[in-house]
Amino acid sequence: MKKINTFIIDDEISAINTLRGMLESYFPQVHIMEEARSVSDALFKLQRSQPDLVFLDIEMPPFGNGFEFLEKSPNPSFGVIFVTAYPNHAVKAINHVQPWGYLVKPYSVGDLAKAIQNATTKIEELKSAQTVNPETQGILISDARKGNVVIKVGDIVYCQADGATTDIFYLKDGKTTRFTASKTLKDIEELLPAQFFCRCHHSFLVNFSFIERYVQTGRNGIIHLRTKAEVPISVGKMESFEVQFANFLSAKD
């Protein structure tokens, strides 16, 4: 039985304990990877895990809410089941997030079972869609001078922010070519598959596939690419970079 890797986020320990107990008793296919009681803790733990599914509380005073967690999550590839005491958030949740489930406390095992069944179906659909190698797919980038250009994802070496535009360095005919896109680095990041690309610095996005090696220089670091280019790793991004790069390498084995 394929496990569903799951993250529980709720500010109330009693709510976490209740959900964990129901999952462990009735849903052996669900594996709880992480638990968190605040948005900041959840974002930190998300860096070291790749959940398929997040059970997410909405109101978590005084340290934020579930919508804030989703807005700050880098390239979220997981599904969400909201678990909340506030049914009035349902419309916003559906319009903004399209959750896989919406459970209002107190909920029954039957309610939970329906949400997990829907999540299972969604996960299977996503994994079927991922059988196409995203590296072979292209993204359409606009530029005021060159018009619309299609760049294959697997050819992109790294991207560098330049204010409101982004320089994309990619391979063309075996040589590194630069293209200036009329998009911010965040916009470009959202177009690219998270399993291959990492925001290693406020101004840089790098393709794991081109990394030859990296070295730490104090608390930050330098990435050496196969194209002989070098990309910095900032202090704040070092830990998440190392975790994501390790996940990328293990997925290739």
What pLDDT is stored for residue 60 in this prediction?
86
pLDDT tens digit sequence for 229-249: 999 999 999 988 998 898 888
Domains of the chain and CATH, by start: 4-129 (3.40.50.2300), 134-252 (2.40.50.1020)
pLDDT tens digit sequence for 108-142: 999 999 999 999 998 888 776 555 566 667 888 87
The confidence band for 252, taking pLDDT boundaries of 50, 70 and 90, is: low
Give the separation between CA 239 and CA 9, rounded to whole angstroms. 21
Question: Mean pLDDT in the chain?
Answer: 88
pLDDT tens digit sequence for 54-113: 999 988 887 788 888 988 887 678 999 999 887 777 666 666 678 899 999 999 999 999
For tokens 């790069």, the residue is 245
The confidence band for 53, taking pLDDT boundaries of 50, 70 and 90, is: very high
Lowest mean pLDDT among 38-47, 92-101, 200-209: 92-101
Give the separation between CA 214 and CA 210, rounded to whole angstroms. 11
Chain Cα centroid distance, residue 126: 14
pLDDT at 176 over 90: yes
Q: Pull the structure tokens for residue 11.
A: 């500010």
pLDDT at 1 over 60: no
Edge-to-edge, what's the strand order for the sheet holding 4-9? 30-36, 4-9, 53-56, 79-84, 101-104
CB-count exposure of residue 221 (10 Å: 0-12, 13-18, 19+) = buried
What pLDDT is stored for residue 63 in this prediction?
75
What pLDDT is stored for residue 127 in this prediction?
73
End-to-end CA separation in angstroms for the chain = 21
Q: Does 62 sit behind a cis peptide bond, omega within 30 degrees of 0 on the bond before it?
A: yes
Edge-to-edge, what's the strand order for the sheet holding 220-225? 211-217, 220-225, 230-233
